[in-house]
Structure 1
Amino acid sequence: MAKYHVAVVPLPAQGHVIPAMELAHRLVEQGVKVTFVNTEAIHQKVVTSTWLEKNGHNNLLQMVSIPDGLEPWEDRNDWTKLVAKTMFQSMPSKFEELIETINKEDNNKCTCIIADPFMGWAIRIAKKMGIKRAALWTASNATLAAIMSHHKFIDEGIIDKDGVPLNDQIIQLSENMPPVRSLNLPWGVGDSATIKAAFSLTVGAVEGVKLAEQLICNSTTELEPGPFSFYPQLLPIGPLLASNRLAVQAGHFWQEDSTCLAWLDQQQPSSVIYIAFGSLTMFNQTQFEELAFGLELSNKPFLWVVRAGMTNETTTTFPNGYMERVGSRGRIVTWAPQQMVLAHPSIACFLSHCGWNSTLEGVTNGLPFLCWPYFSDQFIDESYICDIWKNGFWGLTKMKMVSLQKKK
């Protein structure tokens, strides 16, 4: 019988579920019982993965689900509706019922709840029920520092009270933290209405951080010394990579195509461009075709992850005759075992959206980056790569920098 029983509650997005799942497996390996709580839609994707079928941990890892508040036919890509409204109305009561059911068993009581700060209601419920509570921050700590500084940005006239930028400038919290454009702060995800919704979610995450008794993060002091000087209470437990424990990564929403590894085996060392933009990046057809032509004209072998729904068209369409012209020099898959791919000796560089998981995976393998961020924290990660660590390239023009460093 396990001495400890932890409930893990990630935000229902690929980039949050994967590190939370990795943490769950680390806990299980230490003899801790884990109840992993997903929304019903995400639960169905995760539990059907071949990894979970082959590598379960007996009764120590329990995968459960609760409703997200949407009807089965509703669009779960509508984040404004899913996260900012419906999920917060439906999930808290269902989660509390789940914990109450668990705690009816004397030898199975939940002793700790670890939740994504964006699911701050779970941390609030833990406090209400007298259960130990921790927040798991899955993005870079520089991103955390940015959202924790939102009041400062308002006071400095950089954003308004709803998070909308008032001008376009480069800001930097300290000299060893990445600079970022005010237009690209983590909640800057579209038009003003979308920014307001994302900013409201951000403010909620700040409250989640403050409610937690312990704040753990998917990072290291070596990678990000700056944020740790701002927030010494941060406990680094990263990078949360399956490769660190010589295991296959779990938590993917799509089936991995492992046949690309055999293709990589046939390529020369340090010769292949790997292109992957995560689970949410969207291109218009023109951008997609320009990228396709660029890879073709590079005359280099490439492995390109093109998932379903990657463009804003009904179906993703390659340029006329593209497959024939590229031939065996290009390998295109719908999803890849990325940690294995990035560790492969044939990979030369990583063309990435700069999500934090991908950033950690690329940096851990010593790969140079070509950066093409899409939204949210990815611009801060891009700045880490290009401005602080200097192991990648980007195309944004530098602008006048406004320093927000603490006055001495």
Structure 2
Amino acid sequence: MNTMVDQKQPHVVFIPLPAQSHIKCMLKLAKLLHHKGIHITFINTRSNHKKLVASGGTDHDFNNIPGFQFKTVSDCTSSGAEDDGVEPMTPTLAEVCMHLGKTFFDSLLDLLSGLETPVTCIICDGFMTYTNTIPAAEKLKIPIILFWTMAACGFMGFYQAKVLTDKGLLPLKDESYATNGYLEMEIDWIPGMEGCRLNDLPEDILATKQDDPTYKFLLKLAQAAHNVSYMIIHTFEELEARLLTDIKSIFPNVYTVGPLQLLLNQIEEKENKKTNFNCYSLWKEEPECVKWLESKEPSSVVYVNFGSLAVMSLEDLIEFGWGLVNSNHEFLWIIRTDLVKEQPVVLPLELEEEMGKKGFLAKWCSQEEVLNHPSVGGFLTHGGWGSIIESLSAGLPMICWPSIGDQHTNCRQMCKQWEVGMEIGKSVKRDEVEKLVKLLMDGSEGKRVKEKAMQWKKMAEMATSSNGSSSLDIDKLANQIIKFL
């Protein structure tokens, strides 16, 4: 069992959205604050906690960290099945989120009242406010901080649901506005996102009806940001300085804490040891990926990973496959079992044979280890923020194929503002994939974005150095938590 939390020690409860990238990001911040003497209670759904333990160790590893404990809540209506010795079906993220929307308020109140010591504050994923975490915190008189596990541009993209509605530009007049050129309209009021179009914002905000459920959800999300006094964003000052200045003019207390892994690296280098547990994955990582990379030439391999949630058609997968094969570059490709929408991943025999000559396929890997491997020279990504900030930290340029959420906004900033990547069109064509891979790995454009990526890597390292902007903000955040006592 965990050692008891000292009554005089600050105690923070973390509430992540139950998705891979959000859990990973929040666990890293929890570890950083734990290192500063703050006790942590981290809340996962039952199935996600089981996955985390199964992929990274044993229950003993997770239950014997002094001052750091994990608690769970149910994630589906049949959650009692495992207590009867029956292996329950793993619910989808949508099913889990629907269930939490109905049950999490009561579950949280029960969980918090059962903790051994008082909670100093709650750090809640900005996307979990729909579960009434703010009213729960107010009911218990516990301060709450929202953590946006994304870039400032990603947060601002979602925030535009409110801004565009206030300006009378949303919802769209009718569905024809999606194809008549209206979405090409530039948004000229966000410093640091100049030239951004409506099309570059999360597509879920571009609703045609006032009562669209997702649109209403995002409006509430934007309003929730105004209902709390403190906000954390997983970015660094140097990357999004002008945009952060604008955000700080709207919200009173904003902490930038990225890249989190580089901050953890600083601790490990100083203490010459790993920081307690080092598992953030809901899936078993395959070490064979790194072993395969060991035999490759420096900067010769394209790493391909479309994240934990993105899906594509089998046709798109095949086009990506032939494009990679025809580029004549070696590649490491992570293909999740559920990557193809509603059907198994079955490749044509000829493509499978050709891919076997140049590529290595796996279901999951230690992404940061792969990105920092000397053999990797470029990254074909979906544009999720976790992947982009990890690639920037490694000094790697990218090719981006965005699909959902903040990925379009991230991709736009990556290509236009930070100049570290290129975008693939929505309709995947093997010739375009081949062309962009060759440009990235061999061309003059590839050389330019590689140089830019290395510059951002140095800036990220500067931000996470002992007196860097992110290091100072972590200290400010820890001090603010202590003031809540």
Q: What TM-score do you get using the length of structure 1 for normalisation?
A: 0.87
SS in 1 for 2:212: helix
SS in 2 for 1:341: helix
Superposed structure 1 runs of 4+ greater than 6 Å apart:
161-166, 189-193
Equivalent in 207, 216, 229 of residue 245 of structure 2: 229
Q: Give 1:144 deviation, angstroms.
A: 1.6
Superposition pairs of residues 9-408 of structure 1, within 5 angstroms: 9-50=15-56, 56=62, 58-71=65-78, 76-77=91-92, 79=94, 82-83=96-97, 85-102=98-115, 105=116, 108-120=117-129, 121-160=132-171, 167-172=182-187, 173-177=189-193, 179-188=195-204, 196-232=212-248, 233-241=253-261, 244-245=264-265, 246=268, 250-395=279-424
Q: Is the 8 A contact 1:69 1:86 kept in 2?
A: yes
Mean Cα displacement is larger for which, 257-266 or 243-252?
Answer: 243-252
Q: Is the 8 A contact 1:219 1:237 kept in 2?
A: yes
SS in 2 for 1:241: helix
Mean Cα displacement is larger for which, 261-270 or 219-228?
Answer: 219-228
Q: Give 1:309 deviation, angstroms.
A: 0.6
User: Partner amino acid for 2:92?
Assistant: N
Deviations for 1:319-338, whole angstroms, at most 9, x for unmatched residues? Answer: 21333323352111100100
Deviations for 1:59-80, whole angstroms, at most 9, x for unmatched residues? Answer: 322111112354356773362x
Distance 1:191 1:14, change over 3 A: farther
SS in 1 for 2:101: helix
2: CA distance, partners of 1:158 / 1:262 = 52
Q: Give 1:15 deviation, angstroms.
A: 1.7
2: CA distance, partners of 1:175 / 1:111 = 35
Q: Is the 8 A contact 2:172 2:208 kept in 1?
A: no
Structure 2, unpaired ranges of 5+ = 80-87, 269-273, 427-485
2: CA distance, partners of 1:252 / 1:223 = 26
SS in 2 for 1:48: helix
Q: Give 1:128 deviation, angstroms.
A: 1.7
Q: What TM-score do you get using the length of structure 2 for normalisation?
A: 0.74
Q: Give 1:227 deviation, angstroms.
A: 2.4
Deviations for 1:213-235, whole angstroms, at most 9, x for unmatched residues? Answer: 31111111111113211122321
Q: How many residues align?
A: 391
User: Partner amino acid for 2:67?
Assistant: L
User: Partner amino acid for 2:107?
Assistant: K
Q: Is the 8 A contact 1:119 1:208 kept in 2?
A: no
Distance 1:243 1:321, change over 3 A: farther
1: CA distance, partners of 2:35 / 2:106 = 30
2: CA distance, partners of 1:392 / 1:66 = 40
Q: Is the 8 A contact 1:189 1:376 kept in 2?
A: no
Mean Cα displacement is larger for which, 235-244 or 8-17?
Answer: 235-244
Q: Give 1:352 deviation, angstroms.
A: 0.4
Distance 1:163 1:281, change over 3 A: farther
Q: Is the 8 A contact 2:190 2:246 kept in 1?
A: no
Structure 1, unpaired ranges of 5+ = 398-408
User: Partner amino acid for 2:121?
Assistant: C
SS in 2 for 1:311: coil
User: Partner amino acid for 1:49?
Assistant: S
2: CA distance, partners of 1:182 / 1:372 = 18
Q: Give 1:340 deviation, angstroms.
A: 0.5
Larger radius of gyration: 2
Deviations for 1:252-288, whole angstroms, at most 9, x for unmatched residues? Answer: 1111011111111110001000000101111101000
Percent identity reads: 26
Distance 1:188 1:149, change over 3 A: closer
Q: Give 1:200 deviation, angstroms.
A: 2.6
Q: What RMSD in Å do the two structures reach over aligned CA positions?
A: 2.8
More helix, by proportion: 2
Mean Cα displacement is larger for which, 60-69 or 266-275?
Answer: 60-69
Distance 1:349 1:51, change over 3 A: farther
